[in-house]
């Protein structure tokens, strides 16, 4: 049976770079996938593109490509990535330029376009999934609308001879499903095979999260070598069979436990994992350790794909201002609470306009509120945190200022004050009939 090995070179935009180089050099892989596009990254990238038409792609594109292009070109490893963000064509041109500058010739770089569906969303004024309202309600705060594309245009680019395929918004598992379709010629209506491929893609898409990252809990779940964590390789057979493994000698561990945790990561109903190409069913999946850092995963299934595509809509939501300051030693918690009370009163006295405020004592109750916080002995140090939502940046700045003035006006011995203010790009979802989305592929030769 034919088998391919797909490496997962990044689990988010800022991920470590050298594990991908390790995969390319020592992983015996034919495909290297970089998943780098967070929920609102496209909206932020769209803002950048509006300022400069040549930008709008992942800021780490150049660093990643420079690190892996030479070895991938030498070994014929094909790269698939969503680092195109809001501008896949510019990212493809940039990648071609990088290849030339490194003396790499004869490479074909493909850009998958067509995920930008802002016009279709405006024209159809689709309802928002997360709250009451429709796209028109955003008015001029609307920034972007990008459909989650499936594997077909990526597979088309690979079949068309691309050495590097760069997308914008695409479903994360589809980045992995496309190489399987390319290698094995799976039919786009073989729902069970597409379901199995989606299980593989879902397990691999967060890179280190299946090799022991986001997992260690000393004394309960120990993982060695997290500073040199190896990234995963999926060995996929043409029948959809899957073994998850990594480069021998790299840090981390692949066990039944790490695979189970990642299988359910960001999953709601495991029988219905909605994808552009298939509705995958994870409910019958089993995992089996068959060797050191080798886990066999079986039982993925699928049913017919949805008639709609999920679209991420980016919009300017609000502004957030924040300030922090620390207290330590005996009475630290009491001084921290006094500090919070002072800022609460100051924000009222000085009429700072907020729609939402939050007062935390980091070290005591910042993560889960008062009810769940341990009633242990007093911590040695606490950090006051005040955050508030405002309509404009000027008001947001005033929140952090009121925390900073605790230095000379607040409780004794406050230290390490910091403040920040930022605009908030929110993301909502709509469902768009798939016939309104028309992806296509553009090629650039290096």
Partner 1 sequence: MKLREIAHSRTGDKGNISNISVIAYRAENYRLLLAQVTSERVKAHFAGVVEGEVTRFELPNIAALNFVMAGALGGGVTRSLALDAHGKSLSSALLDLEIDEPLGDTSS
Tell me which residues touch partner 1 (CB under 8 A).
Answer: 39-40, 130, 214-215, 217, 220-221, 257, 260-271, 282-287, 299, 317-318, 320, 356-358, 360, 362, 366-372, 385, 387-389, 424-429
Using the minimum distance from each CB to partner 1, give the nearer residue, 29 or 384.
384
Query: Residue 105 is encoded by which pair of tokens?
Result: 């010739």
Question: Are residues 359 and 406 in contact, defined by beta-carbon separation less than 8 angstroms?
Answer: no
Query: Residue 26 is encoded by which pair of tokens?
Result: 């020592």
Q: Which residues contact 31 (CB under 8 A, 6 or more apart)?
A: 4, 5, 6, 7, 77, 78, 79, 80, 179
Q: How far is the CB of 398 from partner 1 (least distance, A)?
A: 16
Using the minimum distance from each CB to partner 1, give the nearer residue, 184 or 273.
273
Q: How far apart are CA 446 and CA 105, in angstroms?
A: 6
Q: How far apart are CA 150 and CA 146, in angstroms?
A: 12
Q: How far apart are CA 367 and CA 208, in angstroms?
A: 24
Using the minimum distance from each CB to partner 1, give the nearer residue, 3 or 366.
366
Cα 438 to chain centroid, rounded:
24
Asked whether the CA dihedral 141, 144, 389, 59 is positive or negative, the reply is negative
- Tell me the residue length of the chain: 446
Using the minimum distance from each CB to partner 1, give the nearer residue, 2 or 268.
268
Using the minimum distance from each CB to partner 1, give the nearer residue, 159 or 271.
271
Q: How far is the CB of 140 from partner 1 (least distance, A)?
A: 18
Using the minimum distance from each CB to partner 1, give the nearer residue, 129 or 224.
129
Which DSSP category does 170 fall into?
A: B
Q: How far is the CB of 303 from partner 1 (least distance, A)?
A: 17
Which DSSP category does 126 fall into?
A: P
Q: Where are the alpha helices (DSSP H) in 109-266?
A: 118-124, 152-159, 172-184, 191-204, 256-263
Place of tokens 């009121």: 402
Q: Where are the alpha helices (DSSP H) in 205-312?
A: 256-263
Using the minimum distance from each CB to partner 1, give the nearer residue, 17 or 316.
316
Q: How far is the CB of 1 from partner 1 (least distance, A)?
A: 24
Q: How far is the CB of 352 from partner 1 (least distance, A)?
A: 14
Q: How far is the CB of 314 from partner 1 (least distance, A)?
A: 9
Please report which helix (H) or strand (E) contains residue 372, including its range: helix 369-372
Question: Are residues 248 and 233 in contact, defined by beta-carbon separation less than 8 angstroms?
Answer: no
Nearest 5°: phi and psi at 16? -55, 150
Using the minimum distance from each CB to partner 1, give the nearer residue, 264 or 413.
264
């Amino acid at each position: 049976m034919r088998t391919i090995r797909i490496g997962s070179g990044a689990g988010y935009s800022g991920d470590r770079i050298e594990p991908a180089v390790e995969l390319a050099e020592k992983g015996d892989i034919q495909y290297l996938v970089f998943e780098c596009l967070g929920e609102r990254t496209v909206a932020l990238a769209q803002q950048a593109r509006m300022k400069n038409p040549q930008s709008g792609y992942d800021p780490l594109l150049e660093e990643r490509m420079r690190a892996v292009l030479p070895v991938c070109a030498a070994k014929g490893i094909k790269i698939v990535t969503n680092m195109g963000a809001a501008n896949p064509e510019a990212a493809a041109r940039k990648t071609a330029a990088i290849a030339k500058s490194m003396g790499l010739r004869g490479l074909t770089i493909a850009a998958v376009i067509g995920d930008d569906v802002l016009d279709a969303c405006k024209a159809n004024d689709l309802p928002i999934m997360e709250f009451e309202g429709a796209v028109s309600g955003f008015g001029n705060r609307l920034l972007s609308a990008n459909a989650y594309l499936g594997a077909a245009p990526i597979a088309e680019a690979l079949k068309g001879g691309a050495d590097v395929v760069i997308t914008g918004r695409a479903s994360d598992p589809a980045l992995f499903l496309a190489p399987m379709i390319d290698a094995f010629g799976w039919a786009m209506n073989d729902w069970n095979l597409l379901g199995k491929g989606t299980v593989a893609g879902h397990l691999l898409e967060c890179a280190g999260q299946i090799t022991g990252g986001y997992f260690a809990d000393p004394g309960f779940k120990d993982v060695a070598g997290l500073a040199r964590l190896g990234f995963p390789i999926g060995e996929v057979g043409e029948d959809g069979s899957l073994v998850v493994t990594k480069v021998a000698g790299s840090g981390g561990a692949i066990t039944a436990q790490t695979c189970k945790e990642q299988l359910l990561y960001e999953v709601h109903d495991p029988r219905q994992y909605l994808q552009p190409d298939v509705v995958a069913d994870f409910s019958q999946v089993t995992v089996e350790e068959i060797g050191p850092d080798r886990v066999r995963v079986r039982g993925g299934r699928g049913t017919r794909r949805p008639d709609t595509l999920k679209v991420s809509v980016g919009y300017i939501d609000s502004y957030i201002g924040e300030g922090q300051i620390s207290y330590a030693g005996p009475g630290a918690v009491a001084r921290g609470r006094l500090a919070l009370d002072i800022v609460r009163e100051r924000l009222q006295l000085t009429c700072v306009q907020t729609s939402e405020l939050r007062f935390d004592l980091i070290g005591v109750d910042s993560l889960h509120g008062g009810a769940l916080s341990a009633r242990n002995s007093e911590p040695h140090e606490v950090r006051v945190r005040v955050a508030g939502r405002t309509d404009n940046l000027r008001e947001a700045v005033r929140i952090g200022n009121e925390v900073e003035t605790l230095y000379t006006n607040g409780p004794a011995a406050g230290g390490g004050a910091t403040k920040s203010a930022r605009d908030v790009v929110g993301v909502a979802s709509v469902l768009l009939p798939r016939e309104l989305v028309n992806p296509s592929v553009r090629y650039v030769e290096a």
